[in-house]
Each structure stands twice: as structure tokens, then as C-alpha cells.
Amino acid sequence: MLKETIPAYIKNEINGDKAVIFKEELNYAIKNQIIDQSIELIEEDGNKRFLNAYIERGDKETEEFLGEETSSFLENPITYFKDHMNEFMYMESEWFGKIDIESVSFEVDDLFKTYDVLIGLKKQKKHEAKIKSYFAEKMHGEDARFSPMFNQKDGIWEINFTFNHIDGFYEEMSIGEAYQLIYQILFGLIETVES
């Protein structure tokens, strides 16, 4: 999938002899030599990735819709969810679609008080070993939790993982920074699954 979506994305961003693209896609293009060497690749500001994302808050217990948010909500610190323990955030973005991710939810676990991420991954069941191996490598600490479950009915992986145990996590990060790091982790997952 990445071998098709990344070149198409870069081609769409070319302006003259330059293309301004995000970090993960830039690194992928360089590593896999998938772009004409005459095109200068420039890294885009990661804060711009989710400007057009669909963001909503919901109640964890009832899943009741609490409100749709603009991208300015991403400027809040992730501690927002410790102050609003009953809430979760749900995001859909074209960027997740490009890497076979249906959506990403973010919340604080009621029992452990850790930040948890739930994703829907559109990959076949046969990739189970690669998925488990990837998260085992990326997560650190005794309290790290990761639970992949394949949903036969929908044909997607429902993966829940503890965000606190991912390299790059820090308690003072903004929600936007958290989602950038989540995207980076998920992009790496797709690279691994497709290798």
C-alpha cells in the first residue's frame, strides 16, 4: 500500500522541482528511493498534518457524543483527559486512511490512569505475528499493555495499547503532538507489516 500511496502523495505535492511533505513520508521516500532525484524534498511542519481531521469527544461509559472539535482542540495538553476522565477523543483523518488505519481513539484508563490508544487496522489476520512483534519492540516497561484482537465480522484489527510506554511520550505533550507520535508509530507498523 505505501509503495502506491506515498509516490502518489509526493507527486501531488510537487511544485516545480520541490515537494513539501511530512517527515514519515519523506523518510520513506528517501529510504526506498521512490522519487526522482531531481525533486527536492522539504519537510512539512508536523503540526499541519491533522488540521482537517474530524475530531469528536465522547463519553467513555455511554459512548454518547459530547461535541465535535476543531483542530485548535489539539493544542490542549493530553492531561485534558485526566481532568475529564469520562471522555475519550475519536479522530478520523485522510492521513490514517493512507496507512490503512480506520480511526484513532485516545483516553485515560480509569484503573491504571495511563493514556490508551485504540485503533482499527485494516490488515488481514495473517499479519498477526508481525503486528505483535512490532508492538513488543516499540513498547517499554513492566506496565506496558497491548491487546490486539481481530474482528472477523469487519475484517479489521482492533488494537489497544498503552501510550505512556512508547518512546517519545512525555506527560506535558499536547494532544496534537500525541497524535503525531501515534501516526509515526502506526506508519512504522504499516512499513513492518508490508515488508
> How far is C-alpha 53 from the geometric centre of its chain's CA atoms?
12
Domain check: are 135 and 106 in the same one?
Answer: yes
The whole-number pLDDT of residue 164 equals 94
Domain check: are 62 and 150 in the same one?
Answer: yes
Q: Could you give the number of structural domains in the chain?
A: 2
Domain check: are 55 and 103 in the same one?
Answer: yes
Domain enclosing residue 99, as ranges = 48-194
Domain check: are 65 and 140 in the same one?
Answer: yes
The whole-number pLDDT of residue 143 equals 79
pTM of the model: 0.93
Domain check: are 56 and 114 in the same one?
Answer: yes
Residues lower than pLDDT 70 in the chain: none
Domain check: are 131 and 161 in the same one?
Answer: yes
pLDDT tens profile 113-136: 999 999 999 999 999 999 999 999
Distance, CA of 106 to CA of 132 (rounded, Å): 20
The whole-number pLDDT of residue 14 equals 86
Domain check: are 143 and 177 in the same one?
Answer: yes
pLDDT tens profile 30-49: 999 888 888 888 999 999 99
Domain check: are 33 and 113 in the same one?
Answer: no
Domain check: are 168 and 190 in the same one?
Answer: yes
Domain check: are 19 and 79 in the same one?
Answer: no
Domain check: are 13 and 104 in the same one?
Answer: no
Domain check: are 17 and 98 in the same one?
Answer: no
